[in-house]
Amino acid sequence: MDIHTLQVILLLLGVAVLTVTLFRRLHLPPILGYLIVGILVGPFGTGMVASTEDTRFLAEFGVVFLLFSIGLEFSLPQMVAMKGSVFGLGGSQVLITGAIAALVAWLLGLTPQAAVIAGAILALSSTAIVIKQLSEQAEINSEHGRLGVSILLFQDLAVIPLLVVIPILAGDGESGLAQPLLYALLKAALVFAAIMAFGHWFLRPLFHEIARARSAELFTLSVLLVSLAAAWLTHEAGLSLALGAFLAGMMLGETEYRHQIEADIRPFQDVFLGLFFVTVGMRVDLVSLIPIIHWVLLLALVLIVFKAGIILLLARITGRSVATAFRSGLLLAQGGEFGFVLLDLSLGNRLLPDEVGQFLFAAIIISMAASPFMIRYNGRLAQTFCSLRNSGTGLGEIGDIYAEAKDLDQHVILCGYGRIGQNIGRLLDREGFPYVALDLDPGVIREAHEAGEPVHLGDADRQGILHAAGLDRASAVVLTFEDHPSAMKILTHVKESAPNLPVLVRTKDDTHMEELEAAGAAEVMPEAVEASLMMGGQLLLLLKVPGSRIFKIMREIREGHYKLLRDFFHGEEHIDIEHDEGFQERLHTVTLPEHAFAVDHTIEDLHLWDWDVSVTAVRRGGIRGEQPGPETRLQSGDVLVLAGTPQHLEHAEGLLLYGH
């Protein structure tokens, strides 16, 4: 690598840092920032960076490390167990999407060979975007996440024969297709067997020895060596680098070091993936696309709707719920990075015209740019879709709910029938209290109906649904799901129709506790705080504290709105900028030096409440006093524990120390 290449990399990294920082502050996906960086600095933008083999080669490592990480999550036994999703659903998606897209391309004037490749390109989705977004959202192990990853896995495997087919389709056709393809697949099988055998017999003992050395540096170097060596081996066999990395990941995924390996490889993956998306953006020629931008946008929109629709139908056929099928379709509605690889190869072999290639490039990039938003909000979009779908048959559903609840009185309405809703339902049933449950997941409703439970498809934030469930005769309403906007809607409807009806609301934390109580919630149960309370109670029981004393403590804490448990020291932990409001109020300690303004003043004299700051404890001479009274006079050396927002705590500290 020469100095010029290093300058290019430094320029790309510098611009990427600035752009991603801006996108993070604007709560936009960083992948979109990388694409924009590529468009701006590329040969069709400002021309600051040329698209060279060096930059493309470095960017390919992003895909290599991504496939390595995917391999870590999929062991061979899992592959066999998931063969229905991977090969059945994934294979059907690729074949059906590719065939329909190829037919349309042929009808629009492309040659049969070019149409087949265009269809294959459009059938692929972005493993990089989907895996990255799902991981950030902690949805990788959800039902729609596992389904999406299974289909992506088949797509990635399908690229291997496509890389062989493209040069053959571009040839004169005399040598035929079957023999070269069979030869390539045979090589792939031999390489697969060799790598897996090596992993089974040598890798586990090797990493046992490396782990025994207790050197993090040696461990990381060994992981890089294994992953890149496997990628090099498959490349030398005429296959893709990414295939070898995936197989290496599968091997190491069988060891007990999988999670440590994943943590070590993540920084390399993120950096090179960012570079990969920058190089993708560098391929877009905005000037040539401006006259046909409306057609590009139309193709991107059709691609998103078309792929999402096919995946939704296939998932429904295989028995998935509407919500899961719809969310899986949203995950995979975009074009993919391997589509760019196939496009490059097709253009290099003159299989596709340059203008068609640029057209496909732009449409796929637009679909990829839209994809992070669709994935981020897939839950809300699925809920909206289910609500609209239900509205078409709303009378039937309302009628079913009314028929279930018409003879009930003093019953409980459960809004949401996930795990918590089902557990509450079982407790009510055990004690003889009638209830009606509402949910939007047809799969849950179908199975619950088969078990004889009173559950119906219905959106609980619709007033008509609540009235059909007997809101005017109910004894209580319980919100078991974590959705603050929906909770506020339901509370509004309940208070309009039955202002004295108690509503119990479940939340993730205490962020919106006061707002929900002001809206009419009788009880708000923040999971994070309740978990602390329950664990603390159990610990006190183990420490031989009498049960009556524990019960009294827990009752007082709940009656005090969890005040004792809601403030905590944050230190330097990572705060999610998108959800920072949940961590605004915190604890902070201030030590009073000898000449501090607050010395010899009482807490009441300082008027800290003007800044919404309270003194929760004073530590003096090694003794800590909880909830000191306003008449407490402060002394030099006192340590005050303050509770408030960061901005208010800063003002309060200035007042305590300097009087302003």
What average pLDDT does the segment 45-61 reach? 71
What tens digit of pLDDT does each residue of 1-52 get?
A: 444 667 777 877 787 788 878 877 776 667 778 878 888 887 777 777 776 6
CB count within 10 Å of CB 26 equals 8
Cα-atom radius of gyration of the chain, to the nearest Å? 30
By C-alpha distance, which of 341, 311, 335 is closest to 159?
341
Residue type at 252 in one-letter notation: L
Which range (97-106, 173-182, 297-306, 550-559) has the least confidence?
173-182
What average pLDDT does the segment 245-262 reach? 76
pLDDT of residue 309: 92
pLDDT of residue 388: 58
Q: Which residues, including other chains, have CB under 8 Å from residue 30's CB and lie 6 or more apart?
A: 20, 23, 24, 274
pLDDT reading at 100 higher than 90 = yes
Three-state secondary-structure class, residue 621 = coil
Q: Beta strands 639-644 and 586-591: pairing type?
A: antiparallel
Dist CA 442 CA 438 (whole Å): 11
* Structure tokens, 436: 């009606």
Residues 394-521: name the CATH superfamily: NAD(P)-binding Rossmann-like Domain (3.40.50.720)
- Rounded to the nearest integer, the mean pLDDT of the chain is 78
pLDDT reading at 581 higher than 50 = no
SS3 annotation, 209-259: HHHHCCCHHHHHHHHHHHHHHHHHHHHHCCCCHHHHHHHHHHHHHCCCCHH
Dist CA 445 CA 537 (whole Å): 36
Chain-centroid distance, C-alpha 197: 34
What tens digit of pLDDT does each residue of 297-310 get?
A: 999 999 999 999 99
- Provide φ and ψ at 625, rounded to 5°: -110, 120
Segments of the chain assigned to CATH 1.20.1530.20: 3-383
pLDDT of residue 289: 77
Which range (256-265, 417-426, 641-650) has the least confidence?
256-265
Q: Which CATH architecture has domain 584-658?
A: 2-Layer Sandwich (3.30)
pLDDT reading at 141 higher than 50 = yes
By C-alpha distance, which of 435, 414, 418, 425 is closest to 479?
414
* Structure tokens, 582: 């949940």
Of residues 564 and 370, more confidence is placed in: 370
What average pLDDT does the segment 508-528 reach? 80
CATH class, range 3-383:
mainly alpha
585 to each of 569, 581, 644, how far by Cα in Å?
A: 10, 9, 5
pLDDT of residue 96: 93
Dist CA 570 CA 644 (whole Å): 12
Calculated CA dihedral for residues 460, 461, 463, 465, nearest 10 degrees: -20
Segments of the chain assigned to CATH 3.40.50.720: 394-521
What tens digit of pLDDT does each residue of 375-388 get?
A: 888 877 876 776 65
pTM: 0.57
pLDDT reading at 509 higher than 80 = no
pLDDT band at 582 (very low <50, low <70, confident <90, very high): very low
H helix or E strand, kind and range, residue 285: none
